Amino acid sequence: MKNPPAVSRLEVRYGDLDPYSHVNNAVYLEFFEEIRLAYWRALADLAGIEDLEAGDVGGARYVIAETTVRFKTPVFLSDTLHGAARISTVGNRSYTMDFELRTGISFETGALAAEGSAAHVFFDPKTNQVQARPDWFLSTVAALEGRPKEAFLPGDR
């Protein structure tokens, strides 16, 4: 992942470890959540939105429809861990976010430890219904990532 718009340094805690002394597989999804929150904060800042609702932008709440994690190398308590995310596609009612976790001094120079993605569906918790993408979302994602809006459209590329 080149030049991600939001990079986070992540803390590996003793409680994250499994009996083999490396980070338990389920914890990677928690790391993805922290990275997603950092991305959303950057997105909200760019859009001029100050209030986040449980980490989400009001009117742009979502649920996760699918997520994947591909493990590349174990992460240990002594590792310095960094994570980043990008949005790969934006549909009318959903978007897909890609994640990378790297160990090392920095995200840019670190070794790939895991990668993954998650499909998010815009959702209104008050009505319990899928909702349309907010009008500001695609243009703000494009501006944050420095790519044209057309680069995020689903389909063959």
CA atoms within 13 A on the CB side of 99: 29
Backbone angles phi, psi at 98, to 5 degrees: -105, 145
**Are 85 and 4 contacting, i.e. CB atoms less than 8 angstroms apart?**
yes
Is the pTM above the cut of 0.85? yes
Q: At what angle do helices 27-47 and 137-145 cross, to 10 degrees?
A: 100
The confidence score (pLDDT) of residue 59 equals 76
* Amino acid symbol at 147: R
Pairing type for strands 62-71 and 111-124 reads antiparallel
The confidence score (pLDDT) of residue 60 equals 86
Confidence of residue 9 (pLDDT cuts 50, 70, 90): very high
Mean pLDDT of 42-71: 87
CA nearest to 1, candidates 139, 127, 114? 114
For 107-122, the pLDDT digits (tens) are 999 999 999 999 999 9
Q: How far apart are CA 74 and CA 17, in angstroms?
A: 11
Distance from CA of residue 57 to its chain's centroid?
14
Is the CA virtual torsion 45, 47, 53, 56 positive or negative? negative
Tell me: pLDDT of 126 over 50.
yes
Q: What is the 3-state secondary structure (H, E, C) of 83-147?
A: EEEEEEEECCCEEEEEEEEEECCCCCCCEEEEEEEEEEEEEECCCCEECCCCCCHHHHHHHHHCC
Distance from CA of residue 88 to its chain's centroid?
11
* Amino acid symbol at 105: I
Per the structure block, which two tokens stand in for 18?
């499994």
The confidence score (pLDDT) of residue 51 equals 78
